[in-house]
Every structure is written in C-alpha cells, then in structure tokens.
Structure 1
C-alpha cells in the first residue's frame, strides 16, 4: 500500500525474469533488499531520492543504501511504489510536474541491482498521484491511478486510466461534486483504490493542500463503462472534528482466500475507524456500511494501510505506531491472529521477507508524510502530521512482533522515508 489483483507468485516470477537468477540465488541475494522513496528535508539541505536499502538485521550492511538516484529538480517527492503484473516499477508523485513516473532498474557489471533513473509520465494534467492498481475493463487490462488533486480546483480529483504497455492515458474519470446534479455520484480527492469483478472503489480523502477540504465518502466505479455510479458515506465519530477522510480501501474477495465474503474495508484517517460495506455479487449491490473497529475505543488513531500474507491481514495505525493483525480467512470480520507489532509513530507501509538464517520478518516504514518538525524550524511542518514523522524503518520478527532493529533515516542520512517496497516486488503478497 497492500492488496490488489497481483499475487506473490506473479511478482516473484516477474522479478526473476528481470534478474535472470535462479529462485534460490535471487532470494539469497535480494530478498531482504527494499526499495525506498526518501524525502529531502529542507533544513538539512538534502534531496529527494529513490534508493535500494539492505533490511536484513543479520547483514553487516544493514541500513546501508546500496543504490540511489536523486530527484533534485522536483520540489515534492515521489510518493508510492507499485509493480505491474509484468514487473515494471512505477511511482506516483506529489509534485504536479511528476505525478506519475516509471522507475528503471538495471544491473551493474557485477550483477547487483541498481536504480537506473526514472521517467515522468504524461498524465494529461492530473496531479498528486496516490495509489495504482491493475484491473480489467471489458476484457482489457488497464493501469488505474488515483490523483488526489485531479485536474485542479477545490473539489478536484480523478482516476486516470492508462494503457499498461505504452503508459498513455486512455481516459480521465472525473466527476466534480460542483458539476454533477444533486445526489449524483462524485469523485473528490481520491486516494485508496481496490476492485472486485466489475466494481471498483476509491476513497475521498483530503485536498492536497491539507486545508481546502476533507472527504467522507467511498465512490463506486462501474468497470464496464468506467463511470462513477454510487457514493457510500463512511463517517460516524469525529474525534478531530473533521470529516472522516477515508484513506486506504480493500475490496475483500474470495480470490484472496476462498472463505472470504465479499465486502469493502476502508480505513478513515481522521475518524480512526475501519469500516465494512458488505457486497452481494449476484445482485451487484452494497449493504449498509458499519464500523468494525473503533480507534477511539481501542486508543489508536490514523489507521492507514491494508497488507497481507497468505493467511493474515495487517492494518497499520500511525498512532501510537502499531500494526494489528487478523485472520485472512475470517474477512470481512476482523479476528485477531496474533500480537500487535509495536513500531514507531507514523506506522505506515510494510514489507514481508526473510533474514539470511530464514527468520520471517516484517519491516514497517514509520511516517505519514515525512513532513518536518517545527522544533527544527522546518518549513514543511504541519501540526499533527509532523507528530507522525519518525523517519524510521523498524524490523520485527513476524511471528512474535519482537523489534530486532531500526534504521533512523533522519539521523543516518538527513532524510525522511516516504515509502517502502520490496525489491523486484518480492516484499509482499497482497497489496491494496
């Protein structure tokens, strides 16, 4: 984030096709290397970059940057990393000049993976790219990208439909609340995205300036005609006196596990809740939305990501900085499957991998937006969000949750860490 239509086998297969290595050798050399997006911090005079970092606590190189490419001419950093089904690597971006990019991976003379650069793509004016997924519409696969800023304006937001081979825009799905008729479905500040069969869901999160507006809706898009057809309200408690701001969303479905009953799960960033919206696939109708986890009741806040392994679902909560885990087969109900993983404030993205000795690990990237700290006179400081900037990746034993090691990127590299993904897509099983 994460769940989409891509399985671990597909992604590892794509990675091996790129590397040309045997499965055993590939895992031994690269299983524990992570792709990270790093944010330069203004008061520390550092630049945004894309890097490969060693994340095995058993390695002498733990925490070292193995390859790095800076993006010195872009004011705002790249934001999220995603691998396509055929192994191409993409990054969404916060800067209007580079809201979507393809990242190049290559090998040096010794065969080690290196970042060869990135290419900003034409989005036809869509800005502030967030999440990506690949899904079919009328038998044709497309790359779908949410743009929280859309083509601009106070109620902007769009979903870009791209040709996955050429990266060209096929369609801009846009429906401004100010321009549609009263009661008609709209798209506003979309961030999270997920799909099942011919129904796609995107969230209405917050205006990119973090001040103009906040959403509280899910928007359902018909994948047959690529048009919005329904809005679903997900708002109850308002602990911050803001609209709920649904951020990430997961369309739980039998393809993830045969025992799953189809339903949308959505995390509300400012409502501190996880919601369930049941789905009847035969009639293509959604049931009543309900809260299935209350952060107010459980003393957690700012739930963010959905990730999973073959048998567990993981949800990150930025405050106090924990990852909770649930039985995948029990979805859409949240049935605990083990102890919380206690990370740092801002607990956000994560990857799953093994150490050199074969120990199952989870690494958690602990930052919401990696904004600065007002105490450092950092001009990127925003109250509340800056409190969620630990600038760390913590590594834990997957079974017990025990913290094994931590990399503090601000202390070591004078940078924040915006995103974490596995090298060649090997770091997760399901992805939002």
Structure 2
C-alpha cells in the first residue's frame, strides 16, 4: 500500500472517528462471548435466528440513506441470504455508531464515533409474535467523554464493572486527550473517569492517550494509544497498563519498530492472553499496530506482575499486509483481520501467545475488519467477515465513500466463508444492495461462540 494512501487514511481516522473473552475464571467479557453453538441438522429442529446477524449500517448522504440497526439473514444456503429482515432507524447524529457489544447478562450496547452519542444502550427484545425487534435506543451520559470505542466487562475484587475507552476523552481540543470510563453495569452510571494526560503528568510517568483497544487479566488492564479523533498530527505508539485495584495507570510501554508509512505505530486492538483462553498458558499481551502493520507480544510474569520487553511476532511490511485490526477467536483458533489486502490470518489457539499458523489465509475483501462465527441451518461451520473500515468521507465528493483512500478500505461488504476450508460461499455488498455502508456485525442475541479482546 502506497504511502499516500496511508497518510490519507490517517487523516480520515483523525478527523472522523477515531473496533475478550467471557470466562467463568476471570469474568472478563468483551463483545460476544456466549456459547450457544447449534447442533441442528437437516433432520432436526433448527433455530433460524442462529443464522441471523445484527449489523450497524451507515447512511451515505449523497445516496439519500440514513443510519440504522438491521437484522439480516446470513445463511448462504438460504433463499433469503443477504435480506434485511428488520431495520431500525437511528437518530441523526454527528458521527456513526461503531461497535455492538453484549454484556454478561445479555444487554446490548453500542459505542459511537462522535460527541452526541458516544455510548448507547439498545433494547433488543421480542414482540408478541416472538420476533426480534428493537424498541429503544438510549444515548447514555458519559460525563463528557467523547468518541467511544471498545467496551469490556471485568470483575475487580469480586465486583463487576463496565470499562469503555473514549479516544476523544473529555476535551477533543487537547493534543493528548483520551479517557477510560468506569461504569456501573447495572445503572450505566459513571463511577470514575481514568485520565492521565501526558502533558499533565511528570516526565517519565505513565499516561493514557487516545485509548482504543482494551483487555484485562486479574488486576491488570491494558489500553492502546492509537490516533487522535480530531487532530491529524497526533498519533500514538504505546500501550498503558492500569492497576485495577486503584484504577490508576502504572506503566506506559512503547510498541514500535519501523515506520513503514512515516507515522507512529498506532496500536489499535489488544488481547491479554490468559489461562481462561489457553489452559496453562504463560500470560502475555498481543497488540496490533495500525500503521506499523505489526503484531507484538508483551510477556507478563503473573507472580512478579512485571511486563517484559515487547517482541515483534509478525511484520506486515515484509509479509505484504497492512492495517491489522481485530483479534477474534473460537475454541481452536485465533483470527486476526488485515484491512490490506483484505485477509484474515488464522493461528493455533493452543500455541498462544506465539502465532503459529493453523491454515491458509481467509481471502475476504479490502477493509477486512470485524467477524462472526456461526453455522448454517444444515450445520456447516461458517465465518462472516465485515469488509469496511469507516463510512466517513468528504461530502463535497460525489459519494463520500468514493474518495480513493477510503474506497480502498471500504468494500461495503460481508463475505461468508466455510470456516474449515476458507472457501467463499457468498457475499453481501451493502452499498450496491441497500445504498449503505456497514460498520459492525454481531450475532443476533449473542449466539455463537466468540472471543474478542
């Protein structure tokens, strides 16, 4: 990918937006983490909702469409494949909603890329006909925190909290903004705002800046420093460790090597590998760097609570990939999406925290990003990949998403693949079919089994 493309990509990230595991041992939950795998066959009862997904759709202004949350059919063997079964219009906001998350008790949340609605709760229920519908969308009070990204639920000293990263923090005009909100998971009230701006702490002290990814193990939480949501010149290159006994940052670690496009590395998503994911594993943090094109490992000594020197595990600049984004997984494999050229790499879960390939890349489309795992009605194991980075652009263009650098990372599609072979079984292009872009996909009611963060 050429340097000009990445520079332009960075600018759009800055000016417009800125994408875990439920375990009984740690009670850490982010994204979907509910094991309800279906065992149906052609000759047994089928829960048709297990082949349906919830998607966040962005209206494209020059195409006359508006933002919504939709339920779509995802079974490539169905005559209704790609059909919107239900569509709930969202209010007009200053930026799109970006992520969907299910809490441990099944409540549905979304983070938003603007200031008007940076965090929302969505009431996903059933009507009198037992059909899934949305009957309420409530923007939540964040006490002034802007540009919500990731959510994580984690127990600290026996008490469950909801943690949210806000890349815009409490003041978007500041060059070093960014906060982590600590919420009561029952009332949605802010308990504490974790903030440590680099300009306001002593030199050499830990700081939090543009936090994006989040993950935790025990009493240690890690957040990444990616990009400023509004000021194009500010990009991060660190992760910060937070002590969950005090809710205070205790260490900031630089994650950077080469600068293939001239920007700082911009750590984006992070996964704290822990025994609840892989039995007997030596804990470590995995980090994807958006502009470094790399995946890193930071070993963690659970006894001494010391993080070792970061090690680079994967170098996309030499391997021909760029814009690594998400960590997802199932019972056997870890999956990492790479926006360029649009692939998902797969690794043996039992070999973590090292990255040992478990199969051929899944060839999706440009902007490969979020994903879900599920089965067809006939029982075939599937993976769906959302191929879209952001639905943001310049309204003076004929189509906001036809700007060259955005077009290269916005395919506006979902591709469905056989999970075992990687074979592509179907594609839904939302721009062509519905004149909308797709921001996120989650399993309906949290069906399926997924690790994220």
TM-score by length of 1: 0.94
**Which of 68, 73, 87 is residue 106 of structure 2 equivalent to?**
87
Q: Provide the rounded CA distance (Å) in 1 between the counterparts of 2:403 and 2:202.
A: 35
Q: Provide the rounded CA distance (Å) in 1 between the counterparts of 2:95 and 2:439.
A: 11
Aligned counterpart, 2:49: 30
1:11 and 2:30 aligned: no
1:356 and 2:377 aligned: yes
**Which of 330, 341, 365 is residue 344 of structure 1 equivalent to?**
365
Structure 2 vs 1, CA of residues 7 and 209 (structure 1 numbering), >3 Å: closer, same or farther? closer
The 3-state SS of whatever aligns with 1:410 is helix
Q: Provide the rounded CA distance (Å) in 1 between the counterparts of 2:442 and 2:204.
A: 39
- Deviation of the 1:10 alpha carbon: 6.5
1:175 and 2:187 aligned: no
Aligned counterpart, 1:410: 431
Runs of 4+ displaced beyond 4 Å: 7-10, 372-376, 379-383
- Deviation of the 1:34 alpha carbon: 0.7
Unaligned runs of 5+ in 1: 17-23
TM-score by length of 2: 0.89
Q: Is the 8 A contact 1:175 1:185 kept in 2?
A: yes
1:151 and 2:170 aligned: yes
**Which of 155, 163, 167 is residue 184 of structure 2 equivalent to?**
163
Q: Is the 8 A contact 2:401 2:410 kept in 1?
A: no
- Deviation of the 1:94 alpha carbon: 1.0
Q: Provide the rounded CA distance (Å) in 1 between the counterparts of 2:399 and 2:230.
A: 17
The 3-state SS of whatever aligns with 1:351 is strand
Pick 1 or 2: higher relative contact order, CA cutoff 8 A, min separation 6. 2
- Deviation of the 1:231 alpha carbon: 0.4
Q: How does 1:16-415 map to 2 (within 5 A)?
A: 28-152=47-171, 153-209=174-230, 211-372=232-393, 377-379=398-400, 384-415=405-436
Structure 2 vs 1, CA of residues 235 and 374 (structure 1 numbering), >3 Å: closer, same or farther? farther
Q: Is the 8 A contact 2:215 2:222 kept in 1?
A: yes
Equivalent pairs counted in the alignment come to 423
Q: Is the 8 A contact 2:175 2:231 kept in 1?
A: no
- Deviation of the 1:383 alpha carbon: 6.0
Cα RMSD after superposing both structures: 2.1
- Deviation of the 1:428 alpha carbon: 3.6
Q: Is the 8 A contact 2:285 2:297 kept in 1?
A: yes
Q: Provide the rounded CA distance (Å) in 1 between the counterparts of 2:115 and 2:57.
A: 18
Stretch of structure 1 that moved more, 113-122 or 66-75: 66-75
The 3-state SS of whatever aligns with 1:336 is coil
Q: Is the 8 A contact 1:312 1:328 kept in 2?
A: yes
Q: Is the 8 A contact 1:194 1:202 kept in 2?
A: yes
- Deviation of the 1:375 alpha carbon: 11
Q: Is the 8 A contact 1:7 1:429 kept in 2?
A: no
Structure 2 vs 1, CA of residues 97 and 381 (structure 1 numbering), >3 Å: closer, same or farther? farther
- Deviation of the 1:381 alpha carbon: 6.6
Aligned counterpart, 2:25: none
The 3-state SS of whatever aligns with 1:258 is coil
- Deviation of the 1:6 alpha carbon: 3.6
Structure 2 vs 1, CA of residues 303 and 375 (structure 1 numbering), >3 Å: closer, same or farther? farther
Q: Is the 8 A contact 1:204 1:218 kept in 2?
A: yes
Aligned counterpart, 2:12: none
Q: Is the 8 A contact 1:422 1:428 kept in 2?
A: no
- Deviation of the 1:2 alpha carbon: 5.2
Q: Provide the rounded CA distance (Å) in 2 between the counterparts of 1:210 and 1:410.
A: 29
Aligned counterpart, 2:4: none
Q: Provide the rounded CA distance (Å) in 1 between the counterparts of 2:227 and 2:392.
A: 16
- Deviation of the 1:379 alpha carbon: 4.5
The 3-state SS of whatever aligns with 2:411 is strand
The 3-state SS of whatever aligns with 2:350 is helix
